[in-house]
Structure 1
Amino acid sequence: MTKILSTLVLLLLFTTVHAQGVDKSFTVKHSSDKIVPDGILDEPIWEMAESAGDFQQYFPADDVLAEYQTDIRMVTDETTLYVGIKVYSPGKDYVIPSLERDFRAGGNDNISILFDTFNDGTNAFLFGINPYGVRREALISGGGGNNSGFTTSWDVKWKGDSKIYDGYYTAEMAIPLTSFKFAEGETKWRFQSYRFDVQINENSVWYPVPQNQSIFSLAFMGDMVFEKSLGKSRTPLTIIPYANLLSDRDFSSDQGETALKVGGDAKIAIGNGMNLDITVNPDFSNVEVDNIFTNLTRFEVSLPERRQFFVDNNDLFGDFGGGRDANPFFSRRIGIATDSAGNSVENDIIGGIRLSGKINDGLRLGLLNIQTGEDLDREIVSNNNMMLALQQKVFSRSNIGFFFINRETFGDDDFSLPEDRYNRVVGIDYNLSSKDDVWQGKFYGHKSFQPGDKVGNYSLGANLGRNTRFWSVFGDVVLVDEDFTSDLGFIRRKDIFKSALSVNRLFWPASGPINNHGIQLFSVVTWRPTLDFQRTDHDINLSYDFEMKNLSQFGLGYSNSFVFLNNPFDPTSTEGAIKLPGNQNYNFNTVNFSYRSNRANVFAYEGNSSIGSFFNGSRFSAEGEFTLRIQPKVRLSLNVNYDKISLPDPFPSADLWLVSPRVGITFSKSVFWSTLIQYSNQRDNLGINSRLQWRFAPLSDLFIVYNDNYAVNLFEPKFRSINLKLTYWLNI
C-alpha cells in the first residue's frame, strides 16, 4: 500500500505540464455611457467596443470555425459590466423548453459566458441567456472538469434580455461588478464563452476546447483586458428575510400543527474576495424535492446539496477526499439526526455563519459553523458543527488543501452517550490539474478522533488520470480504516482497500453519421484489511459506446460482479423476508443496452435495459425517461424504472416499480408551477410535490408548496403539508 501511494504521489508532484499554445484576448472598453439591457444593441458604444473575435466549433468537430458565428463585445463603467452579444443562426426555429430561470443548457438554444476573475483556472462565474431572454447563472469549481463542479443553485442579481431578428438574435447583459469577487486593481480576467445551436446540432466556443474535454473546462480560456483597472468592490449588505406559514399532519401519529416560522439570511462582503453568510432559523421548504431511487445495494447513496446557504464556494468544504468512498464533509448531514427509534429525521438548524472566499491570489479560506437544536421528545441532542478549510494554489492550476472538522454535543442529557460527545477529523489533500487539463489527480490523508479512540482511524487515497483525444486512463486507490469516522461526511463503507482502473479508447471517424465511438474497460476491486485482505467485491465492466452527429447516443455493455456477503442481505428490502445468507460468495454476470435520443427533439427519450444473473437468482431491469416539450410554456416528463428480481425459494422475489411523472408550466418569466409525483413500491410510498413560484422582484419570491405522501400497499395517507413562504432580497 505504501509503495503504491508513494508512486502515485511522485507522479502527481512531478508530472510535466505543457502550455496550451493559444493566445486569444480582447479589450473591455471603459465608458460613462449608460446602457439599458433590453436586448437591442442600439447604443453607439457597441459600435466602438472591440469584438472578442471568432468562435470555434466544439461539436461535431473541434478544429474548424463555427458555421454560424457569435460576436461578443463588452464595456464597463464604475459599477457594471455590460455585455452585448449577436448570435447568428440558420433561422428562428429556436428550441426553448421553458421560461424558468436557471435552465439546463443542453438540448436547447442558448449562450453562456464564463469569468475566471482571479485568473487561477479553478473557479469561475457563469452567466447565460437564450433567444427569449431567459437567464441563468452558475458557479464553476474544481477547474470545470466535470458536472460535479457545476452549481446552478447560486443566485445573484443582474439584468438581461434578448431580441430575435431574421438570421440572428441579440442579447444584452448588465452585471453589477459587485456580483463578482476579484482583486482590487485587477487589469484582466480569464474569459470563455460557449454556445448551443440545436437547429444545426452545432456547439461552439470562443476559446478552442478539445472534444475530449468538458466544454466549460477552465483550462481553456483567453483574456479580457480592462481598459481601466478595476477598483474596490463595494458589495452592499444583503438581507434576505422570510416568513413561512406551515400547516402539516402526520397521519401515523395523528398529530398536526399550523405555525408561522420567520428567519432569514444576511450576506456581507469582506474586502474584494470574501463573503460572510449568516443564517438565523433557516427554512428550506421551497427547495426542490429530491428524486427517489431504487436501491438494490447494501450502501447509502448520496444526493446533491440544493440549499442556498451551503452553495457559495461549496467546493472549499465538500471536495476533500474521495467523493464516492470517503468524503469527510457532506453538508446534507447538517439538519439530519437519528431519533430514539433509529430513524433519520429532520433536525432544526438554529443558525450559523459561513465565511468563504479568497484571501489573496493564491489562498482561499472557508469557515463554517452551524448550531442544530435539541429535541427531547425524540432524544436528539444539540450539536455544534464546524469546519475550517484552507486551500493554497500551487503550479498553474493545482492546489493543496487542509481542513479541520469538529462536531460536538451541547448539553448533558441522559441519552447522550460519552463516546458520541464529539467527532473530529483533520486532513490534507493535494489536487493536481495540469495547465492543459490532460492530467488530473488527487492524493489525500485524513484522520478522525473520537472520545477514547485516537489510534489509527485513517482514510487515505490517491488517484491519477490522463485524458487525451484518443486515450483516457484513470487509476484510483482508497484505504478506509475500520474505525475512521466522520459524522459530517459521506463514508459508504469502512475497513476497505479499494483499487479502480479505467481505460478508454476513442475513435473519431473522418466522415459518416458517427461523431465518435469507443471501448472502455472499467474495474473495481475491494478487499477487507481486517480479514487478511480478503477480496469482498469486484465489478469488471466492458462497454462500447457510440455518439452520433445528430446528438443521439447508444451503447452495449457486459459486467461481471463478485460479492462476498459478510452479513445476511435482502436486495428486495421485503419486510419480514428471509435474507440471503452471509459469509458466502456470489458471482453474477449482466449484459446491458442504452440509448438516448437528441434532447432537442419535441419528443425526446432515453433508456437502458439489462438482464443477467443476480446473487443466486436473476434480474431484469428497464429504465426510461420520456419528455414532451410544448414550448415555451409546458414540459411533460415521465421516468419509469422496473426491476424484476427472481430468487430461488425461500428467498424473496420482487417486481419493483419506480414511476415519476413531472409537469412543468412556465406562465411567464416570473411565474412557474411544477408538480412531481413519485411512486415506489420498494419504499411503500406515493409522494406528490407541487410548487408554485412567483418571482415578484429580483431574487424575491412567493412560494406555495404542497406535499402529500401515501402508503401504496394499503393506500392510506402518511404525511401532508402545505407551505406559504415569502422571501425578499434587500440590498442596503
Structure 2
Amino acid sequence: MHNKFQMVSSFRLLFLIILCLGIKVSGQKNMLISYTANPPQIDGIFSAGEWDNIQPDSGFIQMEPDKGCDASEITKVYASFDSINIYVAFSCIQGSSNPIMANIQTRDRVTGGDDAVILLLDTYIDSRTAYGFTVNPLGTQTDYKITDDGRFINYEWDTEWEAAAGRLATGWVCEMAIPFGSIKYRASNEIWGINFGRILISNLETSWWSGEMVDNFRISQGGQLEGIRAPVRPKRLMLFPYVSLRYENSDITRQYNKLKPDVGGDILVNLSSNFSMNATINPDFASVEGDLVKIDLTGWEVDFPDKRLFFQEGNEMFTMRYRPFYSRRIGDINYGVKFTGKAGGYGMNILNVRSPENVEQGLPAAFYTVARVKKDILRSSTIGAIIVDKSDFDTTFARSFGLDWVLNPGERWKITGQLMGSYPGDILKHSGGFLRVAHESNKHHVHLRYTLLGGDLAENINQTGFLRDDNRHELDADMSYTFWFNESFMRYIRVFFGNNVFWGLDGIMRGYTFRDYIRFYLTCNFSYRFYIDYRYQVRNSTDASGQPEELYFYNYFIENELGYNTDASSYASLSFSTGRNFNRKMKIIQGDVALQALERLTVKYNISWLNFGTDTLSYPGIRLEQNTLLNILTLDYYFTNNLWVRLFAQHNSYDKRFYLYGQFGWRFKPPFGALYLIYAGDNYFDHTEKQYYDHRTVFLKLTYPIGF
C-alpha cells in the first residue's frame, strides 16, 4: 500500500510541476483551402484545369539528415474540397542525383523504405490525434491513426480513400481524395490541423511542410488548414456483408473433407460527423494473411495484431504499455456492438461482444464489455480511464480497470504512466502501474521508468488483456542517440543502451537486463550492427513431482549483423549470433533478402539456423525455442495495386513443419470490397502428442460494402 501511495503522490507532484511550466508555442504555418466545382480525377496526372487555379504551398524543412535545413528537393502541395471529398496533390521534383526508389505494392506496408508523400489531418484540431495517409510513387496506399501526439501509430486501421501516382521527367506526382464519410471530425470547425511530409530514401531524408519539428508525426507541431467546410452529416450507413466457403481436411480440427459455408458482416452507422456505431454479426476470425513464425528467445507469449474489421475503428485507444484489453483474446464472436467518437475533448470507445461456447477448449460462452475514455488536457496531453469486464453464464467473471496519462510539459519532455487494478482476488496482488519520464527527439531518447506489478495481476488481466509477467518492482532506463554526418563516408551512427532491474514483491531480485547496440550506416549503403543482450532471470516452473520451484537463468545474446541498403525496401542482411538461452549454449545464423525481381514481382527470403547443440532441456511453464532451420519465402506478383497473387512458404526443421499459403486477391472496392481465394496447407509433428498432423484448407471469401 505504501508503494502505491508513493506512485500517486509522485503523479500529483509531477502534475503540479507541469501546470507551472511555460510551454513554448511557435508560430504555425497556415494553408487556405478553397471549394472546387471541378473536382480532379484521381489518376496521377495533372490534367489541365484540375489544379491550375489553386495556389500551391511549399517550403519543406528537413527532419533528417540535416535537421532544420531546406529539403534537398522541391515539393509543392495543393488542396481543395467539395461536398464529398478533400483533394490533395503533391508535385515532387526529383533530380538525377536522387533516383526514385519504390518497390512496395502491398497496401498498408509503406511505412518506410520507399520514396513517399504523407498527409496528416488533425480533424479535431486537438494537437494529439490525426489521420495519416501515405502514398509511394507506385500509388501504393497506407492509412493509419495517430494518437498521443505521435507516440502511437495504428497501421491496422483502414478506411476508404483514393490515391494515384505518376512519374514525370522531373520527378513524380500524387493525387489523393479523402471522403468526409471516411473520417471523423467536428463539423463546426473551419480550421483543421494539417501537415505534409515527404520521404526521399536515396538521401535517407524526411522533410515536413510545417517547419522544423522535434520528431516525426508530432501533431502539435503541424500547421493549420483554414477555410474547410465539412458536411454536418456525411454518408450515414455502410454495410459490409461477407459470404465465405471453406473446404477443410484437418487432423487439427478433426474436420475431414468438410465444406462449411458461412455468412456474416459488419455495419457502420455515422451518427454524426464525430460519432459512429459499429455492429458485427458472426465476423470471420480467419485472417486472409498468414502469421509469420517469430523466433522469440524470451520464453514469453508472442502477440499478434487483430485484423478484424469490427476492432479497427478506435482500437488505437487501447494501445498502452499494459493492456487490460487485447482483442485477440476474443475468439469467435456471435455478435457485437461498438460506439466510438469524440466531443468536448473526450474521446470514447465502448463495446460489447458475445463469444460462443468453445467445447474443444472447455470455454463457456461469455460477454466482453469494454469502456474506454480519454480526456484532452493542457496543450497536447491526455488522461484516460478504462473498464473491462468478462462474464460467462456460470457467474464466473474477470474485471479490470485503470487510469493512464500522457503528459507533454514541453516539446521534448513526456511523462507517461498507468495505474490498474483487477478482481476477483486481493486488490493489492491484482493491481499495478508505472511512471515514466522521457526526454526525446528524432535524434535522441532518454527515459527512466518505475513499475510496480502485483503478484497475481496477470491471472486476471490475461482473461481479457495482455501482460507477460507480474510480481515486480522494476526500474528501467533507455538511452539512444543518432549522429548524422554531412559530406562523409558515413551516413549515421546510432547507439542504444537499455537497462532494467526488478525485484519480486518479497524484495528478492528476480532479474536484470543489459541491452546495447551500435549501428553504422555508410554512404555506400552498407551497414554494420553490433548488439548484446544479457539477462538474469528467476522463473517459476514445476519439478518432476509437480511441485512449484524457482529456476535461475543467465541468458546472453551477442549479434553481429552486416547489411546492404537495409533502410530501403530492397535490402540484404546476414547476421551471426552466439549466446546462452535457459542453460543451453546457442548459435544463430540469419539471412534476409528482399528484392524487386521483376517489375511486378517482389521476392522476400529469410533463413534462420538456430542451434543449441545436444541440449534438450525443457521447463514446464517456460516456452523454449529448439534446434531448427527455418526457411521463409514470400512471392508477391501485382497485376495492379488491387489485383495480386501471393505465395508464402515456411519450413521448420524442428517439428518438420511445411506450411504453404497461396492467395489470390482482388480489391474491387478498396479497401473493404474484396474477393479472396486462399489455399493453406500445414503439415507438422507435435512433439508433445508424438504424432503428425496434416491440415488442408481452401477458403473463398467475398466482402461487398454497400453505402447509403
TM-score of the aligned structures, taking structure 1 as reference length: 0.87
1:444 — aligned with what?
A: 418
Distance 1:265 1:277, change over 3 A: same
2:390 — aligned with what?
A: 407
1:535 aligns with 2:509: yes
In the alignment, the residues of structure 2 paired with residue 140 and residue 105 of structure 1 have an alpha-carbon distance, to the nearest angstrom, of 13
Q: Secondary structure of 1:696's match? A: strand
**Contact 1:106/1:599 (8 A) holds in 2:** no
1:482 aligns with 2:485: no
Distance 1:596 1:22, change over 3 A: farther
- List runs of 5+ in structure 2 lacking aligned partners: 620-624
Distance 1:88 1:619, change over 3 A: same
**Contact 1:578/1:650 (8 A) holds in 2:** no
In the alignment, the residues of structure 2 paired with residue 469 and residue 50 of structure 1 have an alpha-carbon distance, to the nearest angstrom, of 31
1:458 — aligned with what?
A: 431
1:172 aligns with 2:148: no
Residues 322-345 of structure 1 deviation map (CA, whole Å, 9 limit, x = unaligned): 2xxx3211111111xxxxxxxxxx
1:47 — aligned with what?
A: 52
Q: Secondary structure of 2:158's match? A: coil
**Contact 2:235/2:707 (8 A) holds in 1:** no
Paired residue type of 1:37? I
Q: Secondary structure of 1:327's match? A: coil
Mapping of 1:268-667 within 5 angstroms? 268-316=269-317, 318-320=318-320, 322=321, 326-335=322-331, 348-360=332-344, 362-376=345-359, 378-410=361-393, 412=394, 421-434=396-409, 436=411, 438-450=412-424, 456-468=429-441, 471-484=444-457, 485-486=460-461, 487-529=463-505, 532-549=506-523, 553-567=527-541, 583-599=550-566, 604-646=571-613, 655-667=627-639
**Contact 1:634/1:665 (8 A) holds in 2:** yes
**Contact 2:237/2:267 (8 A) holds in 1:** yes
The alpha-carbon deviation at position 303 of structure 1 amounts to 1.8
The alpha-carbon deviation at position 716 of structure 1 amounts to 5.0
Structure 1's consecutive aligned runs of 4 or more residues displaced over 6 angstroms after TM superposition are 647-653
Distance 1:617 1:425, change over 3 A: closer
Distance 1:617 1:116, change over 3 A: same
1:64 aligns with 2:69: yes
In the alignment, the residues of structure 1 paired with residue 525 and residue 225 of structure 2 have an alpha-carbon distance, to the nearest angstrom, of 32
Distance 1:286 1:72, change over 3 A: same
**Contact 1:12/1:464 (8 A) holds in 2:** no
The alpha-carbon deviation at position 49 of structure 1 amounts to 1.6
The alpha-carbon deviation at position 130 of structure 1 amounts to 2.8
Residues 536-559 of structure 1 deviation map (CA, whole Å, 9 limit, x = unaligned): 111112332334455654322334
The alpha-carbon deviation at position 649 of structure 1 amounts to 8.7
Mapping of 1:200-279 within 5 angstroms? 200-210=203-213, 213=215, 215-226=216-227, 229-251=229-251, 254-256=254-256, 257-279=258-280
Paired residue type of 2:346? L
Residues 378-399 of structure 1 deviation map (CA, whole Å, 9 limit, x = unaligned): 5321000010111110011111
In the alignment, the residues of structure 2 paired with residue 202 and residue 523 of structure 1 have an alpha-carbon distance, to the nearest angstrom, of 31
1:344 — aligned with what?
A: none
The alpha-carbon deviation at position 127 of structure 1 amounts to 1.9
In the alignment, the residues of structure 1 paired with residue 266 and residue 292 of structure 2 have an alpha-carbon distance, to the nearest angstrom, of 27
The alpha-carbon deviation at position 705 of structure 1 amounts to 1.2
**Contact 1:107/1:598 (8 A) holds in 2:** no
Paired residue type of 1:126? G
1:690 — aligned with what?
A: 662
The alpha-carbon deviation at position 97 of structure 1 amounts to 1.7
In the alignment, the residues of structure 2 paired with residue 504 and residue 108 of structure 1 have an alpha-carbon distance, to the nearest angstrom, of 25
Distance 1:401 1:700, change over 3 A: same
1:340 — aligned with what?
A: none
**Contact 1:681/1:712 (8 A) holds in 2:** no
The alpha-carbon deviation at position 349 of structure 1 amounts to 0.9
In the alignment, the residues of structure 2 paired with residue 200 and residue 376 of structure 1 have an alpha-carbon distance, to the nearest angstrom, of 57
Mapping of 1:98-247 within 5 angstroms? 98-145=104-151, 149-210=152-213, 213=215, 215-226=216-227, 229-247=229-247
2:622 — aligned with what?
A: none
Distance 1:29 1:433, change over 3 A: same
In the alignment, the residues of structure 2 paired with residue 589 and residue 252 of structure 1 have an alpha-carbon distance, to the nearest angstrom, of 36
TM-score of the aligned structures, taking structure 2 as reference length: 0.90
Mapping of 1:5-84 within 5 angstroms? 6-7=9-10, 10-11=13-14, 14-15=17-18, 16=21, 18-44=23-49, 46-84=51-89
Distance 1:125 1:455, change over 3 A: closer
Paired residue type of 2:436? N
In the alignment, the residues of structure 1 paired with residue 182 and residue 596 of structure 2 have an alpha-carbon distance, to the nearest angstrom, of 33
Give me the identity figure in percent. 21
- List runs of 5+ in structure 1 lacking aligned partners: 336-347, 413-417, 570-576
The alpha-carbon deviation at position 618 of structure 1 amounts to 2.0
Q: Secondary structure of 1:315's match? A: helix
In the alignment, the residues of structure 2 paired with residue 455 and residue 510 of structure 1 have an alpha-carbon distance, to the nearest angstrom, of 55
The alpha-carbon deviation at position 680 of structure 1 amounts to 2.7
In the alignment, the residues of structure 2 paired with residue 553 and residue 206 of structure 1 have an alpha-carbon distance, to the nearest angstrom, of 30
The alpha-carbon deviation at position 489 of structure 1 amounts to 0.7
Paired residue type of 2:341? G
1:722 — aligned with what?
A: 698
Distance 1:129 1:510, change over 3 A: closer
Residues 28-58 of structure 1 deviation map (CA, whole Å, 9 limit, x = unaligned): 0123233222322234362332222211223
Aligned CA RMSD, in angstroms, stands at 2.9
Q: Secondary structure of 2:552's match? A: strand
Between 189-198 and 274-283, report the one with greater CA deviation: 189-198
2:680 — aligned with what?
A: 707
**Contact 2:241/2:704 (8 A) holds in 1:** yes
In the alignment, the residues of structure 2 paired with residue 99 and residue 504 of structure 1 have an alpha-carbon distance, to the nearest angstrom, of 32
**Contact 1:134/1:669 (8 A) holds in 2:** yes
2:646 — aligned with what?
A: 674
**Contact 1:118/1:182 (8 A) holds in 2:** yes
Distance 1:502 1:223, change over 3 A: same
Q: Secondary structure of 2:334's match? A: strand
The alpha-carbon deviation at position 721 of structure 1 amounts to 0.8
Q: Secondary structure of 1:47's match? A: coil
Paired residue type of 2:329? R
